[in-house]
Structure 1
Amino acid sequence: MDSLSSMGFQTASFFLILLFLFYHLPCVPSQQERSRLCKPFQCGDITVGFPFWGENRQSDCGHFSLKLNCNKPSNTTSLTISGHNYSVLHIDNKSNILSLSRQDFSGPFCSASFSSTPLRSDLFQNLQPYRNLTVFYMCDPRRHFFGNFTCPVKGLGSVVQNSTYRKLCDKSFSVTVPTSYVPEEEALNLTHLESVLRKGLEVKLKISEMSGQECVTTDGNSGFTRFCCTNVSGPEISCLTSITTMNNGTYSDNRPFLVTIGTVLGSILCVCVVLFLAFYLNERRIAKAARIQHLEALGTLRGYNYKQIKKITKSFTEVVGRGGFGTVYRGRLRDGRKVAVKVLKDSKGNCEDFINEVASMSQTSHVNIVTLLGFCYEGSKRAIIYEFLENGSLDQSLNLDVSTLYGIALGVARGLEYLHYGCKTRIVHFDIKPQNVLLDENLRPKVADFGLAKLCEKQESILSLLDTRGTIGYIAPELFSRMYGSVSHKSDVYSYGMLVLEMIGARNKERVQNADPNNSSAYFPDWIYKDLENFDNTRLLGDGLTREEEKNAKKMILVGLWCIQFRPSDRPSMNKVVEMMEGSLDSLDPPPKPLLHMPMQINNAESSQLSVESSIYSEV
C-alpha cells in the first residue's frame, strides 16, 4: 500500500512538472474544432462572441465572470453579477455596450430582493450620470413619509435621495438609476421607481482591463484557451501575451509537429496513469473500510490477540489439519472447552477469505453448522476459533453403515437449507466436500470452512464471481463456463450431490484419482447412471444391506443424480432436497441422465480458489 501510494505521488509529481514545462506550448487545434468550441452565443435577438461564453460556447472562449444563460421558454438572456441575476436587454458588439435590468425588479417591487446592486467596476463602466436612491423599509408606522409604500413582510417604507429617514427605519438598501429619470422631488413614488428599474441601465465592458490572455479578432469568435488565445476565423493563432514561442503575436512553427503531438500524448498517458492509481488506491481504501465495518459488526463475538492464540494452542504444538489457506491446531480455552484454531497463512492482501469466513459463521446458529467461538485479527496474523469435534471430518468416515451415512447426508442438507433460506442474508458455501463436513461425538454432521463463502441478499438469484472457487470434482459446471447457466446457490446443490454420491460409494474415488485429469468422464462416470438403470446394487452399494438401508441408499443415489444436473435450473433447491430426502422412495422420479463431459478443461493455474484436499481434520 505504501509503495503504491509513493508510486502514485511520484507519477503525479512528474505529470505536474511536465504540465508546467509545456504550459506555454501553442495550441494546435484544427480549424473545425476551434470553430465548434467557440461558436457565437445565440439566444433570441442576442448574438455575441468574446468576451462572453455560455450554453454551447465553451468557458475557454470568454471571461469566466461573463457567462450568459439562455432562458429557453422566453428566449431571453440573463447574466449573473455580484449574486444578482440581470436580464440582458441588448448588446452592441461593436461598442461593447450592454443594457441590463435586474430580474427581481421586473415584477412587483415588494417581491424583489431588498439588497444593494453595485456593479463590478473591474468589468463595467457607466455611460451616463447615475444617482443612488435609498430605499428605507421596516419604518416606524407612527411617522409620515413622502412617497411611502407598504409591503406585507418588509412593512412601511420610502424611497428618497438622501438619508433623512435613517434613524426612523430599521433597514435600507440602495438602487442605481439614471439621473435623468430622477425627479426634482425629495421622494419617488413606488410606481415611478418600478418603471425606472424595469428600463434598466446601460454599461460598457472594460475589455482592456480584463485579466488573462485576450484575443483581438474582427468577428468576435475568439476566446481564451488553456495555453493561448485562438482566432478561430483564420488559419493563424493570435495571442497578445508574451509567449516565448510567439513572434509578434503570431504562432511561429519553430518546433516539429511530432514533438507537440508526442507531448500531448505523453500528457494524456500521465493523466491516465494518475487516474488509474487514484482509482486503485481508492478501491483499496473502500475495501479496507468495508472489512473494518464487517469486523465491527461482530460486537458479540470474542476477539483474541495473537499472544492469546499462542497460549490457547500451546504454541501451536498439536496440528490436526492442513489446507490451502492455513493450518488447524487443537487448543483449549480457559474454561476448559476444547477448540479448533485455524491460523491463516500470513497475508498482506485484503484478507477477503478471512472476512468471508468470520462474517458468514457469525451469522449462523444451527445444529448442522459449526459454531464460531472467536477470532484474531492482528496485522497479518489471523485466526479463527471454533468448536472442536472429536470425530474429525467426513472423509475419514465414509466406511460407515448406510443408515448412518443417510443421517449424515440429511443433516448436511438441512445445514445447507439453513444457509440458503434460514439466515438473514443468504450464504452460498462454494466448497461442499467431505473434508468440510465435521462429525461430533454422535456423528451429527456440521458444515464447516466458510473461506470461499459469499453473502448475498435472498432476492439475488445470480451471483457475480471473478474467480472459479471450490475443489475439483465438486465444482458446479457453471463455475467453469457460464454457457451452462449463472452462478447461484444452486452451485452448492451440485456439490452436495457429488458429496452424497461419494458417501454411498456411487463415485469410485480411486478411479477418479487414477484417471487422466483432462478426461471429463473421470468426474462424471457413465457407469453411475447405468448401474442405477440396471439396479446393480452389488456394484453400487455392496451386499448385506437391509431392505430399509437399500431404500435409503437408492434414495440418496436419486437425490444425488438430481443435484448434479448440468443446468442449474434442472437442479432442485436445498429445501426441495430436504423434502426428497425425508420423503418416500416411491415419490422420487428418476432424474435425467447428466451430460457426460466437462464444460471446459480445468486449468489449476487459473485460480487460487481451486484445490484438491484430503486433510485429517477439515480446515474450517
Structure 2
Amino acid sequence: MAISCSFFLFMVFTMMDHHVGGHENVCEELRCGGKGPAIRFPFRLSHTRQPDHCSFPGFTLSCTDSNQTLLELPISVKLFVEEIDYISQVIQLSDPNHCFPIELRRLNLSSSPFQFLFHEQDYYPRGYGLFNCSQSTDQRNGIFRISCLSGPTHQVYALDLNDGQSLMELPISSCTKMYNIPYVPEMGDANILHLNWSTPDCRHCEQRGENCRILKNNNSTDESKTECFPRQRNHAKGRTSTKLEIVGAILGSFLLVLLVFAIYRVYRYDKVEKENQAKIEMFLEDYRNLKPSRYTYSDIRRITNEFADKLGQGAYGTVFKGKLSNEIYVAVKILNTSKGKGEEFLNEVGTMGTIHHVNVVRLVGFCADGFRRALVYEFLSNNSLDKFISSADVKNQFLGWDKLQDIAIGIAKGIEYLHQGCDQRILHFDIKPHNILLDQNFNPKISDFGLAKLCSKDQSAVSMTTARGTMGYIAPEVFSRNFGNVTYKVDVYSFGMLLLEMVGGRKNTEVTKENISQVYFPEWIYNCLEQKEDFRVFVEDDGDAHIAKKLAVVGLWCIQWHPLKRPSMKVAVQMLEGGDNLIMPPNPFATTATTRTNARIPAMDFRQELQVIPESE
C-alpha cells in the first residue's frame, strides 16, 4: 500500500512538474533566496533548470548556503556579487575575506569576460606595488594604506608604479617590496571591486526596458550578437496561480490516499502490531537474561559479515565488529586454537556468563563449534582506556581530570563487584588499561577474563603453580611468596598501577634491560608527592591538581609491597569518592630499615586474616 501511495504521488508531482515546467525554457529573472541582485541574461544561476542559452560563457553565478550570490573568476577566486548594473554593464563585487589585495595578487582576468573598471582619465591600466614598511607615511596621491594587511608594528602601502613622484615620497629605506597587483580598490581600504564587461552588449535592450538574448538564426561569424525581446511581467503571477490550483488538487488527492491508508492501518493494527510487540518483548526478555547465547560458526560469520571489520588482535585471538539481527552491535573475539588448551575460553564463559554489572563488559554469547571457538561481547565504541592515557601530554587525547576520576571510580566499583558481589569471588589477574573498555559516554567496563580464577568468598587466598598477568601490573607475591599469599589483593595492586599510569601517562609493559628503571616510575610519583613537586602532566587549575594527587595517593596505597598493607577495593572506592584528607602511604620503595626509621609517615592498617585455600574448579 505504501509503495502504491508513493507511486501515485510520484506520478502526480511528475504531471505537475510537466504542467508548470512548460515555461522552464524561458530565461526568467532569478535571485539567490529571493534576495540579492537580479540575475538575467547574460548571467545564469548554476544548478537550475535554465538552459545554457540563457547565459553567455563565463557569466555563470551560484548561490551559497547563506543565499549570497557568488562569482568564481579564473584561478578559483570566489567573490560575492553585491550589485549588477545591466545598463552600464558593471558588476560590483566584495571579498568574503575582506582583503582584496590578497585575492588580486593571483587574479588574472585575461581569460575572463570581465575587466577592471578604470576611471576615464586612466588611458592605460594602472599597476600597483605592495610595500611592507616599518615607518608610516601620509596617505597621498598615488599611495594607499592597506589596513587589512597592516599591523601595530608595520604598515602596508599600495604604490602607483606609474607615478614616479609617489615613489620618492615613500620612506623606501624602511620598506620591503611584497608583490604587485593590477588594481587597488577605491581608497585602498574599501571592500568593493568594480568590473565591467563589453561582450555581449545588451545596453541598448536594457535602456529600452527589454530583455536581451543571443540573436537567433545568426548567419554571421559573430556569435555574440544579441537581440531584444519584450519582458513578460505578468508571467510569474500566472504561473503562481496555476501552481496553487495544481497544489490544491494534489493535496486533496493525497489526503484521500492518506484516509484510505489510515483505514487499512486500523484494520491491520491489532494483528501486526501485537505480533511486533510480542517479538520485541521476547527479545528484551532474552537480552536481559544473564545466560549468554550459543552461536554456531555460521552465525558468527553472518554476525561479522564474513569478518569484514577487524577491531584488533592480541595473543589469544582477533576481535571483529559485528551486528546482531536486532540492530545491536557486538565485538566478536575469535580465539586462537594454538593458544592453551581452551582454558581462556572456559574461564571467559564460566566467569562472565554469571556477571551482570554496569562496569563489567557483558558476554552476549559464545561459539564452540568443533575446534572453532569465539566469544561475543557487547560493543563499546571508544575502545580501551589505553589509548587515552598512554600519553597524558597529548592534549587532544586527554579526557580531563574529572572524567579520569569518574573512570577510576567506575573501575574500582567493577573490581569490588568481582570480589564481593558474586556468588564466588572472582580474581581477574589482568587489570590494566588495555582491558578497560569505554562506552560512548566514556563509562569504563572491565573485560578479558581469560586469566581469571574463582575462589570461595569466605576464603581469600588461592594456590598457583605459575605466575599470570602482564608485566608491570603483576603483584610481587605472584612471583615470590616472601611477600605473602596470593589473594584478591593482586587485583588491588594492578588497580594501583593503573591509577598511577592514569596520573603519569606512562606505559608499564615496555620493559627491557636498557629501560628497566621505567618500571619504577611510581617511585618518581611518590617522590613528587613527598617533595610537593609537579607531576608535569595536564593540570589547569587547583581542582585538577587535587584530583591528580588523590589518584596518585590511592594508587600508592594499592601498590604496597605487602598485601596486608593494601586496602580492599571497597576502601579504595571510599577513598576515591571522598579522599579530601588522604594520608600519604608508607614508601613502598624504601628498604625495611628505612621504613622503620621513617616514623613521621603515618600508617594505615588494612590487615585481615588471609588463609591459603585451593583454587576452585
TM-score normalised by L of structure 1: 0.46
Higher radius of gyration, 1 or 2: 1
TM-score normalised by L of structure 2: 0.46
